[in-house]
Amino acid sequence: MKPPRFEYFAPKTLDEALALLAAHGDRAKILAGGQSLIPLLNFRLAHPEVLIDINGITSLAYIRPADSRLAIGALTRQHAAERSDVVAARAAIVGEACRFIGHLPIRHRGTIGGNLAHADPASELPAAMVALEAEFTVASARGSRTLGAEQFFLGPLSTAIQPGEMLTEIRVPALPARTASAFVEMARRAGDYALVGVAALVTLDGSGRCQRARVALCGVGATPVRARAAEDVLIGQTPTGAALDEAAVRAASSTNPPSDVHGSADFRRRLARHFTREAIETAARRAGGN
Ligand SMILES: Cc1cc2nc3c(=O)[nH]c(=O)nc-3n(C[C@H](O)[C@H](O)[C@H](O)COP(=O)(O)OP(=O)(O)OC[C@H]3O[C@@H](n4cnc5c(N)ncnc54)[C@H](O)[C@@H]3O)c2cc1C
């Protein structure tokens, strides 16, 4: 199928893009990597009257330290994040989650901002951003505002971005010393969206006990799901054996997964339990220097 008719703009600056968004409101859609939007247009599942192609706004493609945080421009390609030493040093889970997105050519075009704005509940990066407690900057012609990752995702393919706004930057807070992370998932085929994916960050104290934990899952609800009950049970524990089992059970029971042709809700809950255990165990092992 061919896409429906649309008016096309290719601004070169953020101000131009924001002025176009202000003029066209909810009739307009941003075109970033096009890896989700173009199929939606071709299948006639989206009918924007106006496309604002942001690929010429090169100032939105960057990865850089910002104070103690990591700043990622919305137009940064997923592959650039996957290969970045700065990302590896400051938020390795972003690179690890990106590697699960589709295939290499998709990640060469697909952007970090486009992936997050698309908000697929089975998408890996949103769960990683929730676990990292990242902040998202959303801009419009009127100014900008900052949202926490958990506030940003409202439902399947739905975010807190309002008509006239666009996502411009993602900021990841500095992680405490002796923190490591892991992202694990199961997908039906390599490159598919996750059936269930788990992002875990673990901080160990000097004696190997868990000082801080962050766990978030994808594929198990309408949005990424933060498993606070699993995090809490780990605090003060050596992350092995019974503590891991209990965290995994708690994470699985904080989910409300869908049933579909790919798997029942019960199957997904069992995957959530298994992969939560594996993600926490891997992150803890890495935090311990192994
Ligand atoms: C075969 C295939 C397999 C894939 N597998 C996976 C996978 O396993 N996991 C996964 O997570 N993704 C997967 N994807 C999707 C991929 O990650 C996309 O790159 C991503 O979802 C959208 O990013 P994009 O830059 O291509 O955005 P686009 O397709 O250009 O845009 C997607 C949506 O976000 C909006 N948007 C884009 N940028 C902004 C912005 N800065 N501000 C506001 N709104 C914006 C658009 O208007 C549109 O609604 C797959 C895609 C394909 C084709």
Q: Which atom of ligand 1 is nearest to the CA of 46?
A: 49
CB 118 within 8 A of CB 158: no
Distance of CA 178 from the midpoint of ligand 1 (Å): 33
Distance of CA 212 from the midpoint of ligand 1 (Å): 31
Burial of 157 (0-12, 13-18, 19+ CB in 10 A): middle
Distance CA 258, CA 141 (A): 38
Model pLDDT for residues 154-169, shown as the tens digit of each residue? 999 999 999 999 999 9
Q: Whose CA is nearest to atom 14 of ligand 1?
A: 102
Q: Are strands 28-31 and 7-9 parallel, antiparallel or unpaired?
A: unpaired
Distance CA 154, CA 145 (A): 17
Q: Does the CB atom of residue 61 touch ligand 1 within 6 A?
A: no
Segment 216-235 mean pLDDT? 97
Amino acid sitting at position 265: A
Task: Look at residue 76 and tell me whether its pLDDT is greater than 90.
Answer: yes
Q: Does the CB atom of residue 138 touch ligand 1 within 6 A?
A: no
Collapsing DSSP to helix, strand or coil, 88 comes out as helix
Model pLDDT for residues 163-202, shown as the tens digit of each residue? 999 999 999 999 999 999 999 999 988 889 999 999 999 9
Distance CA 100, CA 192 (A): 8
Amino acid sitting at position 137: T
**pLDDT-wise least confident of 128-137, 151-160, 281-290:** 281-290
The pLDDT, as a whole number, for residue 154 is 98
Q: Does the CB atom of residue 167 touch ligand 1 within 6 A?
A: yes
**Quick count: other Cβ atoms within 10 Å of Cβ 45?**
9
**Helix H or strand E segment including 198:** strand 196-204
Ligand 1, from 37, 59, 144, 154: best to mutate by most atoms within 8 Å of Cβ?
A: 37
Segment 124-149 mean pLDDT? 98
Average pLDDT, the chain: 96
pTM: 0.97
Task: Look at residue 247 and tell me whether its pLDDT is greater than 70.
Answer: yes
Distance CA 135, CA 147 (A): 6
Band (pLDDT 50/70/90 cuts) for residue 270 is very high
Distance of CA 245 from the midpoint of ligand 1 (Å): 35
Segment 54-83 mean pLDDT? 97
**CA distances, 245 to each of 62, 125, 215, 234, 286 (Å):** 40, 25, 14, 10, 19
Distance of CA 109 from the midpoint of ligand 1 (Å): 9
Q: Does the CB atom of residue 203 touch ligand 1 within 6 A?
A: no
Amino acid sitting at position 54: I
CB 155 within 8 A of CB 256: no
Q: Whose CA is nearest to atom 5 of ligand 1?
A: 102
Share of the chain above pLDDT 70, in %: 100
Collapsing DSSP to helix, strand or coil, 149 comes out as helix
Q: Does the CB atom of residue 192 touch ligand 1 within 6 A?
A: yes
User: Sign (positive/negative) of CA torsion 149, 155, 157, 159?
Assistant: negative
Distance of CA 118 from the midpoint of ligand 1 (Å): 6
Share of the chain above pLDDT 90, in %: 94
Q: Does the CB atom of residue 106 touch ligand 1 within 6 A?
A: yes
Q: Does the CB atom of residue 33 touch ligand 1 within 6 A?
A: yes
Closest residue by Cα to residue 127 from 28, 57, 29, 226? 226
